[in-house]
Amino acid sequence: MDINKPRYTPMSRRRRIYEGKAKILYEGPEPGTLIQHFKDDATAFNSKKHDVIEGKGVLNNRISEYIFQRLNDIGVPTHFMRRLNMREQLIREVEIIPLEVVVRNVAAGSLATRLGIEEGTQLPRSIIEFNYKNDQLGHPMVSEEHITAFGWATPQEIDDIMALAIRVNDFLSGLFLGVGIRLVDFKMECGRLWENDLMRIVVADEISPDSCRLWDIKSNDKLDKDRFRRDMGGLVEAYTDVARRLGILSENERPQGAGPVLVKS
Ligand code: TMP
Ligand code: ASP
């Protein structure tokens, strides 16, 4: 064991419920709760590209905690309960709706490619898209017709999801604008939260620079996972910048668990 590593001991005896590309879900301490663990793995293009970027999980845990807590504070329901440690948070167990809800304000990524619109073009209005969460199929884009026909969500649930997506977009756009960042687009996931016989849709998963496009207002520098997708380097530095601007990390704090610092001579 590397004694220089932070003293983080994973609880090996707890039950692993699910392992995804960047996160693991463990059984929580009480019924109806789960522990969401952020890994350092980065993947892109449906896992064709993979790397481990030391410190990414710690930063995403903190940034996602901050965003979900702020959403809870303004009455946007989320699965988030509290952060447990540098890599883990306690969440409510929800039934994940198998959709990636993408909200776009500025053309970029797959929209720019698909419709031949230059990256950076302001969209006439915010656009919501749905992708079917299925790794084997590469998360294909689907319409409301597909969603209701195949029973992934009801028309009422789609309405609720879209209303949530717009609230999250408005809130996040303002939050990031306040710290000099343009929210180009983001992806969110929703889940059904059961409370006795009542069910409501809540925001689930994570919201972090892994799942958003964040551009510096002045320079248009990318502060998100496109740095990895496009081999630009500097991912941890960019995520740290986002965390600092949001006031999550103080000026000199390094994300713990970020590994050794490369001292330039
Ligand atoms: P896209 O332009 O590749 O469709 O991505 C739109 C937004 O969704 C962007 O902010 C990145 C995010 N995203 C994910 O979080 N996970 C994914 O699997 C994909 C494809 C995109
Ligand atoms: N689709 C995700 C992304 O590019 C990750 C992956 O496909 O492996 O953000």
Q: Which of 101, 102, 210, 242 to mutate to test the pocket of ligand 1 (most atoms within 8 A of CB)?
A: 102
Specify whether the CB–CB gap between 244 and 251 falls below 8 A: yes
Ligand 2 and 220: CB distance under 6 A: no
Ligand 2 atom closest to 229 (CA): 4
32-47 average pLDDT score: 97
Is the pLDDT score of 1 beyond 50? Answer: no
Number of alpha carbons in the 13 Å side-chain half-sphere of residue 260: 6
Ligand 2 and 154: CB distance under 6 A: no
* One domain for residues 203 and 107: yes
Q: How confident is the model at residue 8 (pLDDT cuts 50, 70, 90)?
A: low
Q: How confident is the model at residue 249 (pLDDT cuts 50, 70, 90)?
A: confident
- Percent of the chain residues topping a pLDDT of 90: 88
* One domain for residues 169 and 205: yes
Ligand 1 and 187: CB distance under 6 A: yes
Ligand 1 and 110: CB distance under 6 A: yes
Distance CA 119, CA 104 (A): 12
CATH at 76? 3.30.200.20
Is the pLDDT score of 241 beyond 60? Answer: yes
The answer to the question of residue 50 being in a domain is yes
Q: Please state the domain count of the chain.
A: 2
Tell me the ligand closest to 115's alpha carbon.
1
Residue 216 gets the label, from left (phi > 0), alpha (psi -120 to 50) or beta, of beta
Q: How confident is the model at residue 259 (pLDDT cuts 50, 70, 90)?
A: low
Is the pLDDT score of 265 beyond 50? Answer: no
The answer to the question of residue 251 being in a domain is no
Ligand 1 atom closest to 224 (CA): 10
Ligand 1 and 119: CB distance under 6 A: no
* One domain for residues 213 and 120: yes
50-73 average pLDDT score: 98
The answer to the question of residue 264 being in a domain is no
The answer to the question of residue 255 being in a domain is no
* One domain for residues 39 and 64: yes
To the question of pTM greater than 0.95 for the whole model, the response is: no
Distance CA 103, CA 123 (A): 11
Ligand 2 and 45: CB distance under 6 A: yes
Considering only 90-94, 156-160, 248-252, which range has the smallest mean pLDDT? 248-252
- Percent of the chain residues topping a pLDDT of 70: 90
The answer to the question of residue 136 being in a domain is yes
Domain extent at residue 46: 11-94+235-245
Tell me the ligand closest to 107's alpha carbon.
1
Kindly give the distance from the C-alpha atom of residue 197 to the centroid of ligand 2, in angstroms, as a whole number: 35
- What residues contact residue 228 under an 8 Å CB cut-off, 6+ apart? 42, 44, 49, 51, 53, 235
Convert the pLDDT of each residue in 138-179 to its tens digit.
Answer: 999 999 999 999 999 999 999 999 999 999 999 999 999 999
Convert the pLDDT of each residue in 196-233 to its tens digit.
Answer: 899 999 999 999 999 999 999 999 999 999 999 999 99
Ligand 1 and 102: CB distance under 6 A: yes
